[in-house]
Structure formats: structure tokens, C-alpha cells
Structure 1
Amino acid sequence: MQILYFGWVRSRIGHDTETLQLPANIETVADLIEWLKLRGKGYAYAFEDSGAIRAAVNHEIVPPDTLVRNEDEVALFPPMTGG
């Protein structure tokens, strides 16, 4: 899976993209975020309020219960505001 990080998520993790092989028990975006929290302090900090994280799977904004596969591209980012 290709994962892209944007905004303060990227800043807290320390990089903007990575390729990972998901464990079999990761089925949804919410599962992915919970699993990423276990990868270290930066991840735990970035995803401490997982309800504030938005996701896109294959360029489409999706809810946390969306299914994910290793072939997907997932973008994780903070909420956006208009101005």
C-alpha cells in the first residue's frame, strides 16, 4: 500500500510517503490508522485524535469504515478549512 501524508500529519511523522505491506487483520481506514499509531512516537502523535484525520483512498475522500487493500493508495490528512 502506498500511503501519503499531508499537513501536520506529515510534519509529525517526518515524511510524506511510504509503501507498506498491511497485516491481514487491517480491513478499514480506521484499522489502518490504529495500526499506524503503533509504528512509533511520531505516528502516535499524528494520529492521537484519529477522529480529526481525513482519508482518501485512490483519490476519493472516504469515511473511516471504508475497506482498504494492499493495492490501494491512501492519503491521510488533517481537516481542511476554507478562507
Structure 2
Amino acid sequence: MVKVKFFAALRERLQCAEMQIASQPDDSVAAVRARLIEQHPHWQRELLDNDVLCAKNFAFVGHQEPVRSGDELAFFPPVTGG
């Protein structure tokens, strides 16, 4: 299983803070995101937004990053500050 967390405005729009999804052989961030959209089609617009960032086990990663059982993925909008 892969733990998936959503933060900030993304969490609000999806109305979900955290969930678990089964891991598959040869998984990547993009593959997990595709399965999330398959299971929740109304999340497509938010999860496919080019500005959405992802971290795996607390480190920023790209969409081709491998994902294995026990990993934690976090999706969130870009952080702005002043």
C-alpha cells in the first residue's frame, strides 16, 4: 500500500486529506496519480494541474519517480510566500 496525502487548497478541493492505494509493480508517481483519477474521476482537473507538486517520503520528486509499497506520496499546490 502507498499512503497518499493531499495538502492546502488541494485537500479542500478534493475534500480528502489522506488515503491508501494499492501499489503495483513498476509504479511511478504518474501511475499512482492515474489510478487516483480512475477511482475518483472528479479529481482529474485538480490532479492533472501542471502546478501540482509531489513529494515522496518528504522529498520533492518528478512524475516518473518510482513508487513502492510503504512509500508516502504528498500532493500539494505550489507554496507561495512573502
User: For residue 5 of structure 1, what is the aligned residue in structure 2?
Assistant: 6
- Which amino acid counterpart does residue 68 of structure 1 have in structure 2? V
**What secondary structure does 1:37 align onto?**
helix
Match of 2:53 in 1: 54
1:17-61 deviation digits (Å, cap 9, x = unpaired): 111213x36621122212211222442232142x22111111111
Structure 1 stretches of at least 4 aligned residues deviating more than 3 Å after TM superposition: none
CA contact (8 A) 1:55 1:62 kept: yes
Could you tell me which residue of structure 1 aligns to residue 69 of structure 2?
A: 70
The TM-score normalised by the length of structure 1 is 0.82
**Residue matched to 1:33:** 33
Alpha carbons of structure 1 residues 43 and 61: separation in structure 2 relative to 1, 3 Å: same
The CA RMSD over aligned residues, in Å, is: 1.7
Q: Partner letter of residue 78 of structure 1?
A: P
**TM-score, normalised relative to structure 2:** 0.82
